[in-house]
Amino acid sequence: MLFLAIPRFRILILVSALVYGSHSMHDAFAVIRWSDAGIGTSVISVLWSEAVAAEVLVFFFVGPGLIERFGVRGAAILAAAAGIIRWLIEGATTSIVLLSMIQPLHGLTFALLHLACMGMMRAVVSLTVAATAQALYAFGSGLVTAALISLSGILYARYAGAAFLPMAALCALALPLAWYGFADQRARCGPV
């Protein structure tokens, strides 16, 4: 596992763990928060579907162009910045209008970051260890997300909507790491 000695790969793992992990509060408690605010199940389904549709659109249509235009560094920074905006607004309101406006940011906070990470991985990890590198990438963010889901329960029980603020802070932590650790290059999208 010589790729663990590559500083940029370690930063890639950290950035992805922070931004993907920031979804833990949303994944575990958004529906509960929205239901408690009186939002009906059909509207909640539409809100959730918006995020999924945005993810698909970014993976197939928008993301590759953003990577080409801004490079993997710019895409990772955009993903982290979108997370900050998304979690600050989600923590502050249960307005259906505002929630419907931020749900598409999932396309950036998840899909665009994944494309940026794959581009970065392609640039810094040998093809001979790419599968192992991808497994560690998935394991790192999955482990952090699992830990944060547990923490999210404690935070949500204590602070309700304000518990989304630490998730915004995780994305804010990812910003300088993405700036300094991701190569400033124009990487093509696709599998490693």
Say if residues 87 and 25 touch (Cβ distance below 8 Å). Answer: yes
SS3 state of residue 114: helix
Q: What CA–CA distance (Å, rounded) separates 131 from 136?
A: 9
Write down the pLDDT at residue 3: 72
State the SS3 of 26-90. HHHHHHHHHHHCCCCHHHHHHHHHHHHHHHHHHHHHHHHHHHHHHHHHHHHHHHHHHHHHHHHHH
Residue 142 half-sphere exposure toward CB, CA atoms < 13 A = 6
Residue 176 lies in a domain: yes
| pLDDT higher than 70, residue 192 | no
Q: Does 190 fall in a domain? A: no
Question: Does residue 20 fall inside a structural domain?
Answer: yes
d(CA 91, CA 98): 11
State residue 1's pLDDT score.
57
**Is residue 1 in a domain?**
no
Token couple for 150: 């547990």
pLDDT reported for residue 184: 63
For 89, the token pair is 């607004």
- Cα 79 to chain centroid distance, Å, stands at 6
| Domain membership flag for residue 149 | yes
- Using one digit for the tens of pLDDT, what is the confidence trace for 10-32? 999 999 999 999 999 999 999 99
Residue 186 is assigned to a structural domain of this protein? no
Considering Cα of 109, then 112, then 114, then 119, what sign does the dihedral take? Answer: negative
Q: Does residue 70 sit within a domain?
A: yes
103: containing domain? 7-181
Q: Out of 28-42, 109-123, 173-187, pick the least confident.
A: 173-187
How many domains are contained in the chain?
1
Give 111-140 pLDDT, tens digit per residue: 999 999 999 999 998 888 889 999 999 999
Residue 190: closest CA among 21, 67, 51, 6: 67
Paired tokens of 50:
């918006």
Whether 78 is covered by a domain: the verdict is yes
* Strand, helix or coil for residue 167: helix
What is the CATH classification number for the domain harbouring 66?
A: 1.20.1250.20
pLDDT at 128: 86
The pLDDT confidence band at residue 190, using thresholds 50, 70 and 90, is very low
